[in-house]
Amino acid sequence: MPATHTEFDREKAQRFAARTGQQLAAAINCNLSYIGDELGLYKAIRELGWTTSDELAGATGLHERWIREWLRHQACNQHLDYDDEKDAFSISPEVSAVFCDEDSPYYFASGFQAFAALRSSVDRLPEAFSTGLGMRFDEHGPGCACGIEKLNNYIPRFELVQSILPQLEGVCERLDSGVTVADVGCGAGIALLNMAKAYPKSTFTGIEISTHAIERARANVETWGLTNVSIRDAREHPLPSDHSFDFITTFDVVHDTPFPDRLIAEIYGALSDDGTWLCSDIRSFPKFADNLAENPSAPLLYGFSVMVCMSSAMSEPGGAGLGTLGFNSEVAQDMTATAGFTRFQKLEYENAINSYYEIRP
């Protein structure tokens, strides 16, 4: 237990005030980096190399005075390098990997998009704190589904088929021979499409409750031109209870849903007796004190939880409200056993944010 606060520590107060200033600067930066991403400024600077505000304004057709102030803000945030003699700015390869290169494992400009999509939801929070009722995904508008699509882009494209599916017992062989697969809470369908492309003999169904996500997923299916994929609205066509799916996946869904026990029971009813559920969810510890001490992503994840995940999980009266860090391996093992699953294994594969579980009847 920390000591009781008796004396006022001026230095500590000063340090905390300075830290609060940095956090305020970071919040403003999210808005201005979002603008830089949205207007294609980072990519334009990468193309131009060292560039002055006049050159960048000319190349993008934007107003020089606004560009100049934005460039200075970005240099002060160490997003851009500055050459005093030429009054020119450039972007390093490392910053470019995070801000410009959508195929890079470090790409994170999508975070600014997700942040922007949630700005207007802040106004709803006081009411939610009072009533207890949160917001469904769709209430954040289409930007939320797009932000999640971009945020969760890398693993489904470069790790799922290549590194994760091979860790599941017998699943790749079955997918090769042709089986039925459902991705529940498929979002924009990126994981679904990457699996469907790799396994053309299998049939893939994306199942969703968000109208905006369904629109994104259907548009992506059309763009990819695959004939072994379809998207289903779970509100009209819920999971069948006839054990007709051989392989079910969920990627960051269970902690978001108001009634995770019902969803897990539905998955149990939809999965064949010899089927597999690949469940990925956020890595976390059961005890808050451990998340506080050990999880460097905890401030971001608890922030997302209040804004999106726990809000969604509380969006119906009586919602369980698990939230972003609420479906860790202990909770997952308990809840899946209650639903009737007898095998539960955490995969060796994990990343900074997610753990992966192989769950079988």
Ligand X SMILES: C[S@@+](CC[C@H](N)C(=O)[O-])C[C@H]1O[C@@H](n2cnc3c(N)ncnc32)[C@H](O)[C@@H]1O
Which residues form the interface with ligand X (CB under 6 A)? 137, 148, 152, 184-187, 207-210, 213, 234, 251-253, 256-257, 263
Backbone angles phi, psi at 322, to 5 degrees: -55, -50
Looking at residue 120, the DSSP 8-state letter turns out to be: G
Closest approach, Cβ 259 to ligand X, in A, equals 7
- Residues 6 or more apart whose Cβ sits within 8 Å of residue 205: 180, 181, 182, 183, 229, 230, 231, 232, 245
Closer CB to ligand X, 60 or 211, in the complex: 211
Closer CB to ligand X, 34 or 154, in the complex: 154
Closest approach, Cβ 131 to ligand X, in A, equals 21
In the chain, DSSP assigns E strands to 81-83, 88-90, 180-184, 203-208, 229-233, 245-251, 271-282, 343-350, 354-360
Closest approach, Cβ 237 to ligand X, in A, equals 11
Closer CB to ligand X, 90 or 110, in the complex: 110
Closer CB to ligand X, 95 or 263, in the complex: 263
Q: Kindly list the distances between the CA atom of residue 107 and the CA atoms of 21, 47, 113, 151, 349, in Å, as whole numbers in the listed order.
A: 26, 18, 12, 9, 20
The widest CA-to-CA distance across the chain, in whole angstroms, is: 72
Closest approach, Cβ 32 to ligand X, in A, equals 26
Closer CB to ligand X, 203 or 210, in the complex: 210
Q: In whole angstroms, what is the distance from residue 278 CA to residue 360 CA?
A: 9
Closest approach, Cβ 234 to ligand X, in A, equals 4
Phi-psi region of 50 (alpha: psi -120 to 50; beta: other; left: phi over 0): beta
Closer CB to ligand X, 57 or 207, in the complex: 207
Closer CB to ligand X, 89 or 204, in the complex: 204
Closer CB to ligand X, 175 or 253, in the complex: 253
Q: Which helix (H) or strand (E) holds 302?
A: helix 298-304
Closest approach, Cβ 41 to ligand X, in A, equals 27
Q: Kindly list the distances between the CA atom of residue 326 and the CA atoms of 203, 253, 298, in Å, as whole numbers in the listed order.
A: 32, 11, 12
Closest approach, Cβ 45 to ligand X, in A, equals 29
Q: Which of 316, 264, 262 is nearest to 136 (CA)?
A: 316
Question: Amino acid identity, residue 272?
Answer: S
Cβ count near 18 (within 10 Å): 10
Backbone angles phi, psi at 213, to 5 degrees: -65, -40
Ordered DSSP codes for 33-75: HHHHHHTTHHHHHHHHSSB-HHHHHHHHT--HHHHHHHHHHHH
Closest approach, Cβ 57 to ligand X, in A, equals 36
Closest approach, Cβ 140 to ligand X, in A, equals 11
Closer CB to ligand X, 55 or 208, in the complex: 208
Q: In whole angstroms, what is the distance from residue 57 CA to residue 45 CA?
A: 11
Closer CB to ligand X, 195 or 209, in the complex: 209
Closest approach, Cβ 81 to ligand X, in A, equals 34
Helices (H), 100-170: 110-118, 125-131, 142-151, 154-158
